[in-house]
Amino acid sequence: MKRILTGITPSGYPHLGNYIGAIKPSLDLLDEKCESFLFIADFHALIKVKDPKLLNELTFQIALAWLASGLNPKKTFFYRQSDIPEIVELNWVLSCLTEKGLMNRAHAYKAAIDINKVSNTKELEEGISLGLFSYPVLMACDILALNATHVPVGSDQQQHLEMTRDIAGKFNRTYGETFNVPEGVIGAERTVLGTDGRKMSKSYNNVIPLLSNEEELEGTIMKIVTNSQEPGEKKDYANNILFDIYSSFASATQIADMKQKFDEGIGWGEAKKIVYKDLNEILKPIREKFYLLQNKKSEVEDILKENSIKVREFTMPFLDEIRSKIGIKSL
C-alpha cells in the first residue's frame, strides 16, 4: 500500500501558495488505497521563527488551513512534528551517517552563503545556524520515520527528496534493508508565483493570504505587478504574473476564457477583478469553515494529539528496530 507524506512549515500565516502548492494536491491524492500522513513541521520553523508565541499561533493557523480546506482527521494521519520524538532521535542517527559534503550542496545553505557574499560579510557562514545547514537530514527523518513510499514534490523541492533517497540508501547498505527509498509524486505540488513574480513566500512579502477577508483579498490582488500596456492592447499571457497566478487555481474553461480576453486586450484592472472574483469563490467556503474553527483551539489540539498517538504506534516499534540494527540495544 502506498504511504504518502507531506508537511507545511509554520513560518508564516497560510497563503495561496500553501494551498495550491501543498494542501490541495495532497488532499487530491487521498484515496482508500493509500495511507496518508500530513503534518505541521514546527521544528523546522525554529530556523526562522524565534518568537515562541508567534510560532504557537502560526502552528494553529496552519492546522486551521488544513482542516478548513477539507482534511478529514479520521481518514488520514494529521499531526504535529514535535509530537513525534522518534523523528528527532532518528535525526541524530542519520546525521552520524550523512556526509557534510551532501549538506554543502543544499540549496538553502548555498543561498545563504550567496547572500553573505553579496553583503561582503567578514565570514561567509555568518548568521547560518547548524539547524539551517543540516535541516535536509531532519526533512529526511520526517519521511523515513514513517517509512513513506511517496512524497509529493514541486520542482523546487526535488533536491530534498533526492537527499532523502541518498540517506535511506546509505543506511540500507550499511545496516541492511530498513527504509523504503521514497518516490516523488512529481507535479503533484506546484510553485505559485507571488504578487511580484517571485515564488510566493513569506520571506519575499509577496503572498496572497489564504484566510483574509474579502476586502483584504481584493486589495492584495490589485497589487499584483503588471506592465504599462493600455486597455485594447493585446496582452502576452505566456510571461505574465497575473495570468500565472490565475492559472494556478482556475479551471481549464476559465483559463481559456482569460486567454481570449488577453488576446482581445482586456485592461489590467478588469482582469484583476476577474482573478479576485474567481479566487474568492474558491476561498469563500474555506474562509467560512476557518471562522467556525478559530475559536475551537482545544478541539484542534485534541485532533493533533489523538493523531500523534496513532502515528507513534508505528514510529516507536520502527525506531526499536533501527536501534537494534545500529547496536543500540540491551547487552
Residue 98's nearest CA partner among 165, 179, 198, 31 is: 165
Cell numbers representing residue 175 in the block: 545496516
- Tell me which DSSP letter residue 34 carries: E
Determine the Cα–Cα distance for residues 203 and 205; give it in Å rounded to an integer. Answer: 6
Number of residues written out for the chain: 331
Question: For position 32, what pLDDT does the model report?
Answer: 65
Q: 212-291, what's its fold?
A: Tyrosyl-Transfer RNA Synthetase (1.10.240)
> From 3.30.160.150, 3.40.50.620, 3.40.50.720, 1.10.150.570, which CATH number describes the 2-193+297-326 domain?
3.40.50.620
Prediction pTM value: 0.91
Determine the Cα–Cα distance for residues 284 and 217; give it in Å rounded to an integer. Answer: 11
* pLDDT tens-digit profile, the chain (331 residues): 889 999 999 999 999 999 998 898 888 888 767 899 999 999 999 999 999 999 999 999 999 999 999 999 999 999 999 999 999 999 999 999 999 999 999 989 998 988 888 888 778 888 899 999 999 999 999 999 999 999 987 766 789 899 999 999 999 999 999 999 999 886 655 678 999 999 998 888 999 999 889 999 999 999 999 999 999 999 999 889 999 999 999 999 999 999 999 999 999 999 999 999 999 999 999 999 999 999 999 999 999 999 999 999 999 999 999 999 999 988 8
Other CB atoms within 10 A of residue 147 CB: 16
From residue 267, alpha-carbon distances to 106, 233, 264 in Å are 42, 8, 9
Determine the Cα–Cα distance for residues 76 and 11; give it in Å rounded to an integer. Answer: 23
Question: For position 271, what pLDDT does the model report?
Answer: 97
What are the extents of the domains in the chain?
2-193+297-326, 212-291
Question: For position 187, what pLDDT does the model report?
Answer: 62
Collapsing DSSP to helix, strand or coil, 3 comes out as strand
Cell numbers representing residue 197 in the block: 513574480
Question: For position 235, what pLDDT does the model report?
Answer: 94
The sheet that has 183-186: what strands, in order across it? Answer: 77-80, 34-40, 2-8, 150-153, 183-186
- Contact of 26 with 4, CB cutoff 8 Å: yes
Q: Which amino acid appears at position 36 of this protein?
A: S
Collapsing DSSP to helix, strand or coil, 50 comes out as coil
Q: Which amino acid appears at position 252 of this protein?
A: A
**Dihedral of the alpha carbons of 115, 118, 122, 124, in degrees to the nearest 10:** 40
- Contact of 217 with 283, CB cutoff 8 Å: yes
DSSP secondary structure string for all residues of 88-129: HHHHHHHHTTS-HHHHHT-HHHHHHHHHHHHHT-SSTTTT--
Say how many CA atoms lie within 13 Å of 53 toward its Cβ. 0
Question: For position 26, what pLDDT does the model report?
Answer: 85
- Please indicate whether the domains covering 2-193+297-326 and 212-291 agree at the CATH topology level: no
Residue 5's nearest CA partner among 47, 25, 35 is: 35
Cell numbers representing residue 71 in the block: 482534511
**Among the residues of the chain, which ranges form H helices?**
16-18, 24-29, 42-45, 52-68, 85-95, 100-104, 107-119, 130-144, 158-175, 214-222, 241-249, 252-263, 268-293, 297-326
Residue 242's nearest CA partner among 218, 210, 275 is: 275
